[in-house]
Amino acid sequence: MKLTVPHMGNCYIAFEALLQEMGHEVILPPTCSKKTLSLGTKYSPETICLPMKINVGNYIEAIQLGAEGIVMIGGSGPCRLGYFAQVQKEILKDLGLDVELIVLEPAREGLKNLKDQILRLAQPKGIGSLWRGLRLAWEKQKAVELLENAACYVRPREKQLGITSRVLQASLANIRQANSIASLRRICREEQARILDLANHSPVQPLKVGLIGEIYTILESFTNLNLEERLGHLGVQVTREVSVLRWVRDHIFLSPFASYRIKRLVKQTDGYLNSWVGGHGLESVASTIQLAKADYNGIVHIMPFTCMPEIIAQSVLTKVSADLQIPILFLIVDEHTGEAGYQTRLEAFVDLLQRKQKEFQHEKATSLFGC
Ligand code: SF4
């Protein structure tokens, strides 16, 4: 069957490898664009969060290219992801787009449903192909995140402005082409060295900022208006606190230990939040506290307009910011977000961090030399 998956950053590389290994033809939607967003906005409920609108745009564009089925992740808890599949199914039906939806619901929603959907996907080449596909997909996702992290390190130090993002795109294309784990590991080592080689070796350390918030907006550069790149070009080294590998580890491999993980996160929030609020809300608060203790210069919190888990996190983070004296920039994105205002807010935030750092260095020098 010709299958498609929605975009969320570069994780289409791993999904494509998994589905191809299981014998499916993969029709990827075109990269997210204004056209994708306007299609999604036109056919989705007005107040639904941005990720769903872009998903709908992705599906329509992929179906126009010939996709016959859609593979997507389900969800549960106090977050709208849990009913994305049902709403999207109705939207596509109303548009007369006849496609199959294969929804991989989390294991805690019932193992039988998940098992049936996985067996359905593995049908063309048998269950062995699932194992091979999962291994290749896991390795590809590892390689993608390694290279993206290398790019975040290099951007504020790059020898030529903008070159890191261009090289990263070429490196990711090579990762996508790799068809065995051995070749993938070799390519990954070479590409990582190529990206690190773009950095200047100056003793001046750039500002360090942690990126937290809703997973889709963090990973999909179209929705966050190339946030990592913009910050990197302003001289900031970004650390992403959310990733696909972490999500898979926590929500699939460690799913039987979910209550233990939640208890551990609640403990890390030092009493600011005492229960799971859905999405990555709890993680956002726990990560901010950890990064503040690790002497990060600031935090950028990003979420789509009306995202419930992150609205709860945001209300708590204001107090965390004041108590731990760590500046936090709150960014809320939707289909109306304008580039100019967004850039101005980033520049003002970086300016504030630079001034704060200079004041700190001055105080340190004064206390050391008594002048
Ligand atoms: S985490 Fe927020 S933006 Fe993401 S699906 Fe849930 S409610 Fe929507």
What share of the chain has pLDDT > 70, as a percent? 99
| Helix axis angle, 308-324 to 281-293, nearest 10° | 20
Q: How close is the Cα of 6 to the center of ligand 1, in Å? A: 15
Adjacency order of strands within the sheet including 100-104: 25-26, 2-4, 69-73, 100-104
d(CA 227, CA 213): 13
* Contact by Cβ (8 Å): 7, 244: no
Q: How close is the Cα of 81 to the center of ligand 1, in Å? A: 6
CB 307 less than 6 A from any atom of ligand 1: yes
pLDDT score of 360 more than 80? yes
The position carrying tokens 């967004």 is 342
In this prediction, residue 115 carries a pLDDT of 87
pLDDT in tens, 48-79: 999 999 999 999 999 999 999 999 988 776 78
The model scores a pTM over 0.85: yes
d(CA 345, CA 348): 5
Higher-pLDDT residue of 219, 115: 219
pLDDT in tens, 145-166: 999 999 999 999 999 999 999 9
Section 4-17 average pLDDT: 97
Task: Indicate the top mutation candidate among 277, 308, 335 to test ligand 1's pocket, ranked by most ligand atoms within 8 A of CB.
Answer: 308
Reduce the secondary structure of the chain to three states and give it as a string. Answer: CEEECCCECECHHHHHHHHHHCCCEECCCCCCCHHHHHHHHHHCCCCCCHHHHHHHHHHHHHHHCCCCEEEEECCCCCCCHHHHHHHHHHHHHHCCCCCEEEEECCHHHCHHHHHHHHHHHHCCCCHHHHHHHHHHHHHHHHHHHHHHHHHHHHHHHECCCCHHHHHHHHHHHHHHHCCCHHHHHHHHHHHHHHHHCCECCCCCCCEEEEEEECHHHHHCCCCCCCHHHHHHHCCEEEEECCCHHHHHHHHHHCHHHHHHHHHHHHHHCCCCCCCCCCCCHHHHHHHHHHHHHCCCCEEEEEEECCCHHHHHHHHHHHHHHHHHCCCEEEEEECCCCCHHHHHHHHHHHHHHHHHHHHHHHHHHHHHHHCC
- The class that CATH gives domain 207-371 is alpha beta
Residue whose C-alpha is closest to residue 99's, from 123, 74, 122, 71: 71
Q: Which atom of ligand 1 is nearest to the CA of 214?
A: 1
d(CA 345, CA 331): 9
Provide the pLDDT confidence category of residue 190 given band limits of 50, 70 and 90: very high
140 Ramachandran zone, left/alpha/beta (phi>0; psi -120 to 50): alpha
CB 332 less than 6 A from any atom of ligand 1: no
Provide the pLDDT confidence category of residue 7 given band limits of 50, 70 and 90: very high
* Low-confidence winner among 40-44, 248-252, 342-346 (lowest mean pLDDT): 248-252
In this prediction, residue 371 carries a pLDDT of 55
* Contact by Cβ (8 Å): 53, 44: yes
CB 81 less than 6 A from any atom of ligand 1: yes
- The class that CATH gives domain 2-125 is alpha beta
Provide the pLDDT confidence category of residue 342 given band limits of 50, 70 and 90: very high
Averaged pLDDT score across all residues of the chain? 94
pLDDT score of 370 more than 70? no
CB 216 less than 6 A from any atom of ligand 1: yes
In this structure, which residue's CA is closest to atom 5 in ligand 1? 81
Q: How close is the Cα of 102 to the center of ligand 1, in Å? A: 20
CB 74 less than 6 A from any atom of ligand 1: no
Q: Which atom of ligand 1 is nearest to the CA of 51?
A: 3
The residues with which 8 forms a beta bridge, in sequence order, are: 10
Q: How close is the Cα of 223 to the center of ligand 1, in Å? A: 13
Section 234-241 average pLDDT: 97
Q: How close is the Cα of 229 to the center of ligand 1, in Å? A: 23
Q: How close is the Cα of 192 to the center of ligand 1, in Å? A: 32
Q: What are phi and psi of 251, to 5 degrees?
A: -95, -10
The position carrying tokens 């130090």 is 157
Task: Indicate the top mutation candidate among 79, 86, 282 to test ligand 1's pocket, ranked by most ligand atoms within 8 A of CB.
Answer: 79
CB 283 less than 6 A from any atom of ligand 1: no
What share of the chain has pLDDT > 90, as a percent? 82
In this prediction, residue 291 carries a pLDDT of 97
CB 279 less than 6 A from any atom of ligand 1: yes
